[in-house]
Amino acid sequence: MTYRAKGRMENLEFVQFHPTGLYNPAGENPTFLISEAVRGEGAILRTKDGEEFMTKYDIRGSLAPRDIVARAIDKEMKMRGDECMYLDCTHLDEHAFTKHFPNIYEKCMSIGINPMQEMIPVTPVCHYLCGGILVDKMGRSSIQNLYACGECTSTGLHGANRLASNSLLEAMVFGHRIHLDLVERIDDLSWQDNIPEWDTFESKQPVEQVLITQELKELHEIMSYYVGIVRSNLRLKRAMDRLWILYRETEALYNDSAISPKLCELRNLITLAYLVSRSATMRRESRGLHFTTDYPGKLDFLDRSIL
Ligand SMILES: Cc1cc2nc3c(=O)[nH]c(=O)nc-3n(C[C@H](O)[C@H](O)[C@H](O)COP(=O)(O)OP(=O)(O)OC[C@H]3O[C@@H](n4cnc5c(N)ncnc54)[C@H](O)[C@@H]3O)c2cc1C
pLDDT in tens, 5-61: 999 999 999 999 999 999 988 778 788 999 999 999 999 999 999 999 999 999 999
Q: Are strands 9-10 and 132-134 parallel, antiparallel or unpaired?
A: antiparallel
The β-bridge partners of 215 are none
Q: How far apart are CA 137 and CA 248, in angstroms?
A: 36
242 is an active site residue: no
Residue 131 contacts residue 279 (beta carbons within 8 Å): yes
Q: To test ligand 1's pocket by mutation, which of 125, 128, 172 has the most ligand atoms within 8 angstroms of CB?
A: 128
Q: How far apart are CA 20 and CA 85, in angstroms?
A: 9
Calculate the dihedral angle through the C-alpha atoms of 171, 123, 230, 212, rounding to the nearest 10 degrees. -70
Is residue 102 reached through a cis peptide bond, with omega within 30 degrees of 0 on the bond before it? no
Q: How far apart are CA 145 and CA 259, in angstroms?
A: 27
167 lines ligand 1 (CB under 6 A): yes
224 Cα to the center of ligand 1, angstroms: 20
CA-based nearest residue to 210, from 222, 221, 218 = 218
Q: Which domains does the chain have, with CATH numbers?
A: 15-128 (3.90.700.10), 130-187 (no CATH), 205-282 (1.20.58.100)
180 lines ligand 1 (CB under 6 A): no
CA-based nearest residue to 289, from 276, 273, 274 = 276
Adjacency order of strands within the sheet including 85-88:
15-22, 120-129, 85-88, 44-46
Q: Which pTM does this prediction carry?
A: 0.89
165 lines ligand 1 (CB under 6 A): yes
pLDDT in tens, 216-233: 999 999 998 899 999 999
Q: To test ligand 1's pocket by mutation, which of 151, 165, 272 has the most ligand atoms within 8 angstroms of CB?
A: 151
pLDDT in tens, 155-181: 988 889 988 778 888 899 999 999 999
94 Cα to the center of ligand 1, angstroms: 33
